[in-house]
Amino acid sequence: MNPLLKVEQLSYSYLPEEPILSKISFELSSQKSLGIIGPNGGGKSTLLKILAGLLEGAQGEIYWKGQRISGGLNESARMAYVPQKDNVNSALPITVRDMIAFGCLPSKVSKKDLNNVLAQMGLTSIQKKLIRELSGGQLQRVQLAKAVIRKPELLLLDEPTKGLDSTGQDQLLDLIEQVIKDFNCSVILVDHNINQVIKHCDQILCLNRTHHWHDKKEMFNKDIMNSVYHCEFEHTLIHENQTDGKLPEHHKCTVHGDDHDHD
Amino acid sequence: MSFITDFIEFDFLFNSLIGVILISLICGLLSPLIVSKRLAFMGSALSHSSLLSISLSLSIFTLDQALPLFTLNTLLITLLVSTLATFTFRQKIPTDSLIGIFLTVSMALGIIVLKLFSKQNVDLSSLLFGNVLLITRTDLLILFILLVTVFFTLWIPRHKWIFLIQDEEAALIQGVNIKFYHYLFYILLGVTVSASIKLMGTVVVNTLLLIPGVLALKTARSLKSMVLISTVFSLAFSILGLVLGNSFELPSGATIAVTLFLGLVVCVKLLPGSGQISKL
C-alpha cells in the first residue's frame, strides 16, 4: 500500500552554494504523525513550506498517494497548513467562531460542522471572544480548528507549541493526537521540544540541513540525535544504550545523500 | 442658522458638502483595512506622493479641467503606487525606510515641479489641505463612481480580504491571488487620493484614511460593526468639520482634520473597548 506522502531526495537552497536541505527522504502513512525536530536553522520550517507550496524551486520528488506531484501539496492534496502563531494578525475584530468559518474558502461551512469543530476543539465557551482577547494556547487551538474545518487529509503544523508552558504543550499535543483520530488525518509537525515530539508522534524526522534521520520513534536514540544536532544531549527521555555505540543499518544518518556511520 | 443654510444657498458649498460625504464614505470603508494591515505609514507616503502626480498633471491641465486632470493624476499616481507596491510585496527586510524616502522625495519633487511647470498659479496649501472652491460637478460624479467601485471591490471578495489581513501565507495556500489583491489595494488607495485631493488635500485625506479605522478597530466587536463605526464616524465628523470651518471662516480641510482627531478622543472616552489600542 502506498504511503500517504513520500518525499525522495528533496533539496533546496536559498543561496546556490548554501543548501538548506540536501537529499531529504521520508514517508508518512495515513493517520500517522511525523515530528520534525532539529536545531535552529536546520531547515525544518523550510521543509514544511516546500510541502505547503509556499517555496518553489525545490529539487527531488514528492509523491501523494503514490502519484508524483510537482510543486507543493496545496495544488494536489487536501492539505492544511498552520503557520507559527506569530504570523497571525489579530487586529481585526473577528470572533473565534467567524475566524474558523472563514478558514473554509471558498465554500461555506455548515452550522453543524462548525459547532462540531468548536466542541471537539474545546472552543464552544469562547466562540464569541475576539481573536485578540485569546491566550497563546487558545489561539493555537483556534488555528487548528480553522485548519481541520476543511477536513484535510494532512495537517502541516509549524511550531504549534511555541510560547506555551509544558502543560500547555502537552494539552495541545494531546489535542493533535485526538484530531488525527477524529478527523482521520495525518500530521506533520515541526517542534523544538524533543521530549514532547518523541512522546506524541509516531515517526521522527531529525533534520539538520544536510544531515537527516527518519524512522519510527522507537528507533530513535541519543547517538542519532547527538550526531544530527552535532552536540551532546543530557536531559532527554529517549533510550541511550540500545546500540552500544554501534548503529544498526536503519539508524544511519544521511549526509548529502550518502550513508555513514557515526563515530 | 446661516452656517447651515449657506450649504443650500451657495452651489460651491453644496458641492463641497456632497464631496465631503462621498470622500468620507470611501475613506471610512478603506480605513479599517489600512490600519489592520499596518499600512498607516504607507498610506501617508501614498497620499503625500500625490503632490508629485498632481503637480505633474497641473503642468499640462488646469484645476477646472476636472476629468482630464483626474485621469492624468490617476495614471501617474497608479504608476507611483505600483512602484511602492512592488517594493513592499512580501519583503523580509523592513520597508519603512524605503517608504520614508519615497514620501519625502516625491513631496519635494512635487513642490519643485509645481513651482517650475504649473500652468496656473496654484496655492500649495490648497493641495495639502484642500479647497472647497475647487470642487466641480464632474469631481462629484467621479467620487460617486469611486464610492460604488470601492464598496463592491471590498464587499464581493470580503472573505479573501479578511483572510489576507489575518494570514497571508494561509491565504496563498488556499489559492487567493495575494499579489493581485496587494496591487488592487494600493491602486484603490491611489485612485481615492487622486479623486479627493482637490477638496481634501493630501494631508486631510491621510487623516481620513487613518482615524476612522483606528476608532473602529479599537471599539468594534464584529466586522459589521467595524465597517459601520468607521463609515458613520468618518461621515459625521467630516460634515461637522466642514460646517465648523464654514461658520468660523476657517480652512475647511484643516478644520475637518482637527475635528476628526477631537472626535476620536471623545469617542475613545465614550465608547466601550478602551485599552485595546496597544493591540492594534
Q: Where are the domains of chain A?
A: 5-85+154-260
Q: What was the pLDDT predicted at B229?
A: 95
Query: Nearest C-alpha of chain B: how many angstroms from A200?
Result: 25
Contact call for A105 and B225, based on CB within 8 A: no
Please name the member of B162, B170, B173 whose beta carbon is closest to the beta carbon of A92: B162
Residues of chain B neighbouring A105 (CB-CB closer than 8 A): 159-160, 163, 171, 174-176
B157: three-class secondary structure by DSSP: coil
Question: What type of residue sits at position A52?
Answer: A
* Whether pLDDT at A252 is above 80: no
Residues 123-162 of B with CB under 8 A from A: 159-160, 162
Between CA B213 and CA B277 the distance in angstroms is: 11
Q: What pLDDT, on a 0 to 100 scale, did the predictor assign at position A247?
A: 44
State yes or no: pLDDT of A241 exceeds 80: no
Q: Which of A49, A56, A78, A92 to substitute to test the interface with B, most B CBs within 10 Å?
A: A92
- State in words which class domain B17-201 has: mainly alpha
Q: Pick the residue from chain A with its C-alpha nearest to B219.
A: A93
Taking an 8 Å cut-off on Cβ atoms, the answer to whether A88 and B162 are in contact is no
Query: What mean pLDDT is reported for chain B?
Result: 88
Rounded Cα gap, residues B181 and B191, in angstroms:
15
What are the start-end ranges of the E strands in A65-153?
A: 67-69, 79-82
Of chain B residues 198-257, which have a CB less than 8 A from chain A? 216-217, 220-223, 225-226
In this complex, the residue of B160, B225, B280 whose CB is nearest that of residue A91 is B280
Asked if B276 has any chain A CB less than 8 Å from its own CB, the reply is: yes
Residue A104: predicted pLDDT: 67
pLDDT at B149: 97
What tens digit of pLDDT does each residue of A65-116 get? 888 887 677 665 678 888 876 778 888 999 999 888 877 665 678 888 899 9
- One digit per residue, the tens of pLDDT, for chain B of length 280 reads 666 788 888 888 899 999 999 999 999 999 999 999 888 888 888 888 889 999 999 999 988 888 999 999 999 999 988 888 887 777 666 778 888 888 899 999 999 999 898 888 888 888 888 887 788 899 999 999 999 999 999 999 998 898 888 888 888 887 889 999 999 999 999 999 989 988 888 888 999 999 999 999 999 989 999 999 999 999 999 999 999 998 898 888 889 999 999 999 999 888 766 545 444 4
Instruction: Calculate how close chain A gets to B274, using CA atoms only, in Å.
Output: 13
Select the more confidently predicted residue: A248 or B117.
Answer: B117
Chain A: nearest CA to B63, how far in angstroms? 39
Question: Chain A residue closest to B165 (CA)?
Answer: A89
- Per-residue pLDDT at A107: 65
Angle, helices B11-36 vs B178-219, to 10°: value is: 100
Considering only CA atoms, which of A199, A251, A204 is closest in space to residue A227? A251
Q: For residues A150-166, b (16+ Cβ closer than 10 Å) or e, as one string?
A: bebbbbbbbbbbbebee
B166/A53 CB distance under 8 A: no
- pLDDT value for B242: 93
Nearest CA to A162 out of A85, A229, A89 is that of A85
Nearest to A62 by CA among A21, A20, A10, A2: A10
What pLDDT was estimated at residue B121?
Answer: 83
Looking at residue A105, its pLDDT comes to: 64
Write out the residues of chain A at the interface with chain B, using a CB-CB cutoff of 8 A: 52-54, 72, 74, 79-83, 87-95, 98-99, 102, 105-106, 130, 132
- CATH fold of A5-85+154-260, please? Rossmann fold (3.40.50)
Q: Give the cell for residue B59.
A: 503642468
Of B37, B173, B225, the CB nearest to A53: B173
Average pLDDT of chain A to the nearest whole number = 80
Residue A258 has pLDDT above 60, yes or no: no
Environment class of A13 (CB within 10 Å of its CB; exposed 0-12, middle 13-18, buried 19+): middle
Shortest alpha-carbon distance between residue B257 and chain A (Å): 24
Cα separation values, B165 from A93, B39, B232, Å: 12, 11, 23
Q: Min CA distance, B167 vs chain A (Å)? A: 5
Q: Which of B173, B222, B280 sits opposite A74 (nearest CB)?
A: B173
- The reply to whether residue A91 touches residue B162, judged by beta carbons under 8 angstroms, is no
pLDDT at position A229 over 80: no
Check residue B210 and give its pLDDT.
94
What is the Cα–Cα distance from B199 to B146, expressed in whole angstroms? 15
Residue A230 has pLDDT above 80, yes or no: no
Tens digits of residue pLDDT in A128-169: 999 989 988 888 899 899 888 888 899 999 888 888 888 888
In chain A, the residue whose alpha carbon lies closest to the alpha carbon of B224 is A93
Give the pLDDT of residue B224. Answer: 92
Phi, psi of A110 (to 5 degrees): -75, 155
Query: A53: nearest CA in chain B?
Result: B173
Question: What are A184's three cell numbers?
Answer: 482521520
Distance, CA of B223 to CA of B217 (rounded, Å): 9
Distance CA B3, CA B46 (A): 34
